[in-house]
Amino acid sequence: MSFHPSVIPTFPPPSLTIKWYVEMIRDFRLVKAIYNSLFIAGVATIIAGIIGTVTSIGLVRYRFRGRELLSALVIAPMVIPEIILGASLLTFFVTLGLSLSQYSYLYMILGHTLFILPYVIMNVHARVYGLDKSLEEASLNLGANPIQTFGEVTLPLILPAVLSGTLLAFAMSLDDYTASQFWVMPQTETIPVRIFSALRTELPPTINALATLLIVATLLIFFLQVRLSRKVALRRRL
């Protein structure tokens, strides 16, 4: 439908056109939504990737009091309904005195980080758990310090799992609407929020073009994630 030349689509289309994609680029609100989605998903994914990797290594390599509780807490956002997660985080920030109108980007980034974090942890945790610890011990015995061992031994071995988890997390953040509707403001409107907002009143062809781009981007990300997951599985067998 995004390539149909008419505002009211028919099938089969009389011809194909990309004019709605051109109009989409000229629409400031749609371009802003694309920027917001990429910025929020990108920042949240980087934060979740760092925290998720460190947390996964800590949960696998170390034994400490409350380890099982921490494992449950970091996975909880995956099983809690997003509508509850969104409302709860909104209530929490309001209680702290953080105005939604002033800190909407903070709401969105921290909220997205919270609910995509489990996807990173699950991927990296599985890889770290199957990692041969003797490789790290050999590095330490040869004189490397823990930081050098992590950078030269551990990280290269778990990197495919980290990338796989972060790609999945990025896709989940990019597509989120349910939780984001609690934190969004006009200046932080994302692609899914913009699409659903348009559905309430009208459905301009530019929204079809935007939705098509979102679907294609999501499919490409999931394709890369599957390829990396297969690479991790092959390394685990070796």
What is the pLDDT of the chain when averaged over all its residues? 83
Question: What's the pLDDT score for residue 238?
Answer: 52
The Cα-based distances of 47 to 43, 114, 167 in angstroms read 6, 10, 13
- The percent of residues above 90 in pLDDT, for the chain, comes to 16
**Residue 194 pLDDT more than 90?**
no
**What are the tens digits of pLDDT across the range 121-177?**
988 988 888 887 888 888 888 888 888 888 888 888 888 888 888 988 998 898 888
Write out pLDDT tens, residues 39-55. 999 999 999 999 999 99
The predicted pLDDT at position 94 comes to 86
Summarize pLDDT for 41-91 with one digit per residue, the tens.
999 999 999 999 999 988 888 888 888 888 888 888 888 888 898 898 889
* Res. 6: pLDDT tops 70: no
- Domains of the chain listed by start with CATH number: 22-237 (1.10.3720.10)
**SS3 per residue for 76-119:** HHHHCCHHHHHHHHHHHHHHCCCCCCCCHHHHHHHHHHHHHHHH
- 169: nearest Cα among 111, 125, 115, 227: 115
Residue 4: pLDDT above 70? Answer: no
Whole-number Å distance between alpha carbons of 120 and 166: 6
Tokens 């551990």 belong to 154
Closest CA to 54 of 156, 162, 139: 162
**pLDDT score at 217:** 82
The answer to whether 214 and 174 are in contact (CB under 8 A) is yes
What would the mean pLDDT of 186-193 be, rounded to a whole number?
Answer: 87
Sign of CA dihedral 86, 53, 188, 207: negative
Closest CA to 62 of 51, 72, 50, 70: 70
Burial (CB < 10 A; 0-12, 13-18, 19+), residue 63, is exposed
- Indicate the burial class of 43 (C-beta count within 10 angstroms; 0-12, 13-18, 19 or more): middle
Averaged pLDDT for residues 5-22? 70
Say what the pTM is. Answer: 0.81
pLDDT, residue 237, reads 56
- Using CA atoms, how far residue 218 sits from 80, 157, 176, 181, in Å, is 23, 26, 12, 20
CB-CB contact of 123 with 48 (8 Å): no
CA-angle at 230, arms to 227 and 235, nearest 5°? 130
